[in-house]
């Protein structure tokens, strides 16, 4: 049997294995469970977790005595998602969606507590919106962000928004406490799509659906936005956005 090469930098190898393990879990893990799963000494596991916490790649939940991925890890995931393949796959789908329903369409990814918009297809005779490519907005206020947050494990949402200070406001509306955010996300799961009304820009409404990858993780979200003084059926628009999200997920490799 051939010898398995040993890593030249054991600490780096162990750090990457910890992050990979946490990324595959539905929620945060106890340090002892991490150490046992990866056969890393418990003392080394605690030291590595502490270092990762300092840099924002993991967060510690003292009440649960568990560790989960932090916002810096989401930045890495968002960086991968922002690369050209996702935008190239999404742009023609969003162009067709916008043409079909006559409203502006957007594709966004999570970046920590924010969403980052990577594709915008503005409908004819519709005004420019704040959700331009490259713009970041608070995830808990946007339809795209709510769609993706609702697809995350509840423990992960709690780690991202541990208290009211994490829930910034734009126009004095939207969830201002973790409890209020949990209720918003509960409604998203019940409805099957996310929505917002004037919380990003007064006078505009949005609906969105998450794009899930092959593991069930929200890789992105598709949204439609329209002026609230225009009579539109939000349910029909949400259905159109959901269909586009499912097709993008299929093109990303998610089983039908």
Structural domain boundaries of the chain? 10-69, 75-251
- Topology classification of domain 75-251: Beta-Lactamase (3.30.450)
Q: Quick: pLDDT tens for 192-220.
A: 999 999 898 899 999 999 999 888 889 89
Q: Taking the domain 10-69, which CATH number applies?
A: 1.10.10.10
Rounded to two decimals, what is the model's pTM? Answer: 0.69
168 and 138 in contact (C-beta within 8 Å)? yes
* Residue 166 pLDDT > 70: yes
Rounded to the nearest 5 degrees, what angle is found at the Cα of 218, between the Cα atoms of 217 and 220? 145
Predicted pLDDT at 77: 64
* Residue 85 pLDDT > 80: no
Q: What is the mean pLDDT of residues 73-97?
A: 77
Predicted pLDDT at 217: 87
Beta carbons within 8 Å of 149's beta carbon, 6+ residues apart:
110, 139, 140, 157, 160, 181, 185, 188, 218
The whole-angstrom separation of Cα 223 and Cα 107 is 6
**Percent of the chain surpassing pLDDT 70:** 89
Say which residue the tokens 């126009």 belong to. 171
Q: 75-251: same fold as 10-69?
A: no
160 and 118 in contact (C-beta within 8 Å)? no
The whole-angstrom separation of Cα 188 and Cα 150 is 7
Round to the nearest angstrom and report the end-to-end CA distance of the chain: 40
Q: What is the mean pLDDT of residues 239-245?
A: 97
């Amino acid at each position: 049997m051939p010898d398995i090469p040993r890593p030249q930098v054991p600490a780096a190898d162990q750090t990457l294995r910890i992050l990979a393990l946490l990324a595959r879990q539905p929620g945060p893990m106890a340090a002892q469970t991490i150490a046992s799963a990866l056969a890393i000494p418990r003392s080394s596991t605690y030291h590595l977790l502490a270092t990762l916490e300092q840099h924002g790649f993991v967060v510690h939940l003292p009440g649960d005595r568990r560790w989960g991925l932090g916002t810096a890890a989401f930045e890495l995931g968002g960086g991968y998602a922002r690369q050209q393949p996702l935008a190239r796959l999404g742009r023609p789908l969003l162009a067709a969606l916008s043409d079909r329903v006559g409203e502006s369409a957007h594709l966004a990814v999570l970046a920590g507590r924010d969403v980052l918009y990577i594709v915008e297809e503005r409908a004819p005779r519709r005004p420019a919106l704040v959700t331009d490519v490259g713009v970041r907005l608070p995830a808990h206020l946007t339809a795209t962000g709510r769609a993706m947050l609702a697809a995350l494990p509840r423990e992960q949402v709690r780690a991202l928004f541990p208290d009211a200070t994490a829930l910034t406001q734009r126009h004095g509306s939207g969830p201002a406490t973790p409890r209020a955010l949990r209720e918003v996300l509960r409604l998203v799961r019940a409805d099957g799509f996310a929505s917002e009304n004037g919380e990003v820009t007064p006078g505009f409404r949005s609906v969105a659906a998450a794009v899930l990858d092959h593991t069930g993780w929200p890789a992105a979200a598709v949204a439609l936005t329209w002026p609230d003084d225009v009579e539109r059926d939000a349910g029909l628009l949400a259905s159109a956005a959901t269909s586009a999200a499912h097709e993008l997920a299929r093109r990303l490799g998610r089983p039908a």
